[in-house]
Amino acid sequence: MGLSFDFVIGVGGIGKGIMFELKDNHTMGRNESRLANLTDSQDFCKLHIIMHYVSMFTDDRIPVYAIGKIGDDEIGKEVLSLMKSVGINTKNVFIEDKRKTLYSVCYQYPDEDGGNITTQNSASNFVLPTDIDIFFKNTSLTGKGIVLAAPEVQVSTRHYILKWGRKRNYYNIASLLSSEVKDFVKDNIFAEIDLLVINRDEMESILKFSKNVISNDNEENVFLCYQLLKKYNKEIELIVTLGESGVYVFSKEEKKFISAINTKAINTAGAGDCFLGSLIAYLIYNISIFEAAKIATVSAGYKVKSKNTIDFTLDKMRLLEFLKEKKISYSKEMEKYFE
């Protein structure tokens, strides 16, 4: 099966964290102290999660490069070892001696919503544009690549790698945090992005920044968000993940809604990053963005059955079994992926 891309380069947060289960569904108050159960779930940071699935689903057929920083500590050594074990090239994951590895405290409500608090002054925050220059100077790259700019490193560094991608005519994929919308608009970062993948809260933050009223209609909100983004970049593609409400995909004036997978969730944290990593892998296999998003939704549906933010059991064979279990059909182009 021919591949659409020859390599993937990603920059983003690398680290680990812990997970609390809250007993009540009401949102944490500003001055509230609340008891919660500390779980044994393993939480990992964005670049690690996304690139794990890229590497797992591409079967070592192309190089998968990670750019990031960790501290000189046990957590850093652990996550670096895990990344190497699935074939991620970590030569450009540098040790920041005076900083700790990125750490996150996650929490989940009984209704399966949740969030996290992540260290801002970690080693990941010191991934700089000069580190991107070092990568491109020292790495021999031929062919067409994907550039991924993921959160948990500085916006300026992610913008810088997207500029490199645009200069080399790579396919630029990015996500953002709700708090970063202002910076993305101010610095015209949307203009450098080919595909933006965001969740409901991030979409609503884009709408609010543009002083739009949030509707109760998901489709209306997503369409308006897409129209706003096209003002910054008329060629931009958009995917919005809405949890159990499904996924919307906009590409080249085509729109498609994909239903979520009906499965009992144990931990939804990391599902969005699983979706993105799976999507990238399927795009590499020359699968259309709509079909890739459909099967990536299945990957995310499988992942939520795991207590960890990375499901280390999820591979091509498990995905195929899950598709059959859920009686989900897939296209001829996807059939080739499973050969």
Query: Dihedral of CA 92/120/49/20: which sign?
Result: positive
* Predicted local confidence at residue 1, as pLDDT: 62
Q: How far is CA 115 from CA 21, 177, 201, 291, in A?
A: 11, 12, 11, 29
Residues 6+ apart with CB under 8 A from 71: 95, 96, 97, 99, 100, 101, 122, 123
What is the distance of C-alpha 72 from the center of its chain? Answer: 25
* Predicted local confidence at residue 216, as pLDDT: 86
pLDDT in tens, 126-185: 999 999 999 999 999 999 999 999 999 999 999 999 999 999 999 999 999 999 999 999
pLDDT more than 70, % of the chain: 100
> What CATH architecture applies to the domain 7-25+37-337?
3-Layer(aba) Sandwich (3.40)
Instruction: Inform me whether the pLDDT recorded for 104 exceeds 90.
Output: no
Give per-residue burial for 140-171: e unless 16+ CB within 10 Å, then b: eeeeebbbbbbbbbbbebbbbbbbbbeeeebb
User: What average pLDDT does this structure show over 116-122?
Assistant: 86
Nearest to 129 by CA among 152, 160, 92: 160
pLDDT grade, residue 37 (50/70/90)? Answer: very high
What is the C-alpha to C-alpha distance for residues 5 and 8, in angstroms, rounded to an integer? 8
pLDDT in tens, 190-206: 999 999 999 999 999 99
Query: Dihedral of CA 149/79/84/320: which sign?
Result: negative
What is the C-alpha to C-alpha distance for residues 252 and 255, in angstroms, rounded to an integer? 8
* Predicted local confidence at residue 28, as pLDDT: 87
Q: What is the pTM of this model?
A: 0.94
Return contacts of 114-123, CB within 8 angstroms, 24+ apart. 114/268, 114/269, 116/17, 116/43, 116/269, 118/13, 118/15, 118/17, 118/45, 118/152, 119/15, 122/13, 122/15, 122/71, 123/69, 123/70, 123/71, 123/76, 123/95, 123/96, 123/99
Across all residues in the chain, what is the average pLDDT?
Answer: 94
pLDDT in tens, 222-274: 999 999 999 999 999 999 999 999 999 999 889 999 999 989 888 888 999 99
